[in-house]
Amino acid sequence: MPQNQPPGSPSHPDTDSPGIRAVERSIAAFNIGEKLRKLRLKKKISLVDLGRHTGLSPSMLSQLENGKLVPTLPTLTRIAMVFDVSLDHFFIDRSKQKVFAIVRAAERMRFPERAGTPDAAYFFECLAYSAQEKALQAYLATFPARENTSQSHFHEGSEFVYVIEGAVGILIHGEEHVLSQGDSVYFDSSESHSYRCAGDLQAAALVIALAPRL
C-alpha cells in the first residue's frame, strides 16, 4: 500500500507489475520513438519546429524519441500528419503490403509554409499522408491574396505544380514565372525556388514532389 494511503482505500495499480511490464515491452517492440526520430531527421525538422507544428514541447518530443514516454493515439496521429505518413507507419511493416490509400477531404489538416507564421505566403494539405513508402508526395497548396513571397527553399528531386485557380508566381533562377488557372510547370527542385499569390484573389495549386532518381 502506498505511503499515506488511508486503510481501506482502493490501491493504485502497480506500475512495476508483470502485466504492466508486458504491455510496455509490447509497445517498445514497435520502436515508435526510433521511427519518429528517423522521420524527423529525414525531413530535417528540429524538435523546436516539430513542437510548433504539434503543440508539444521539444522536451516531450525528445522523451518520445528516446522511448521514455509512450504517445497517446491523438498525439501520435498529429505527429503522423505533420510528417505526411499514416498512423500505422508506427505499428505495421508495410514493406510486404501493396499500396492503396484513400485520404478523405475531411481528414486533411492545413499547415502554414513555416510553423508559427500567421501571414504565411501559402498553406498546404497532404493529399496522400496515409500511404507509406511513397514514390511521390502530393499537396494541395492555397495562396492567400497578399503580397508575401514564401521563404526560398530547395529539396532533392523534381517538382510539378498545376494551378487549380487564381495565379501563382514561381521565382526560380532569379526570374518569376506567373502561372494562371490550368497552367503547369515541372522543374528541378534542387534549385532554390519560392512562391506567391500573383493575383487579387486566393490561388490554389496541386503540388507533386518527386524523389530523385537512383
Give 154-209 pLDDT, tens digit per residue.
988 999 999 999 999 999 999 999 999 999 999 999 999 999 999 999 999 999 99
Mean pLDDT, the chain, whole residue set? 83
The Cα 112–Cα 201 span in angstroms is 18
State whether 128 and 155 are in the same domain: yes
Query: Given this model, what pLDDT does residue 94 score?
Result: 53
Confirm whether 134 is domain-assigned. Answer: yes
Q: Which amino acid is at 14?
A: D
Looking up residue 186, the CATH number of its domain turns out to be 2.60.120.10
State whether 157 and 111 are in the same domain: yes
Confirm whether 99 is domain-assigned. Answer: no
State whether 111 and 199 are in the same domain: yes
Contacts 24+ apart (CB under 8 A), 93-102: 94/132, 94/133, 95/133, 99/131, 99/132, 99/133, 99/134, 101/128, 101/130, 101/131, 101/132, 102/130
> Considering 92, 119, 152, which residue would you say is the last residue of a domain?
92
Confirm whether 69 is domain-assigned. Answer: yes
Contact by Cβ (8 Å): 149, 197: no
The Cα 76–Cα 152 span in angstroms is 30
57: pLDDT strictly greater than 70: yes
The Cα 162–Cα 141 span in angstroms is 10
Domain that holds residue 68: 18-92
47: pLDDT strictly greater than 70: yes
Which H or E element spans position 19? Answer: helix 18-28
Query: Given this model, what pLDDT does residue 102 score?
Result: 84
User: Cell 529539396 belongs to which residue?
Assistant: 155
Angle, alpha carbons 105-100-33 (nearest 5°): 85
Q: pTM (2 decimals)?
A: 0.61
Q: What would the pLDDT profile of 102-117 be if each residue is shown by its tens digit?
A: 888 888 888 998 887 7
2 pLDDT tier (thresholds 50, 70, 90): very low
> Considering 92, 118, 147, which residue would you say is the last residue of a domain?
92
| Angstrom distances, CA of residue 16 to CA of 6, 20, 150 | 22, 6, 51
Confirm whether 5 is domain-assigned. Answer: no
> Considering 62, 92, 122, which residue would you say is the last residue of a domain?
92
Helix intervals (H) in 29-131:
32-43, 47-54, 58-65, 73-82
Query: Given this model, what pLDDT does residue 190 score?
Result: 93
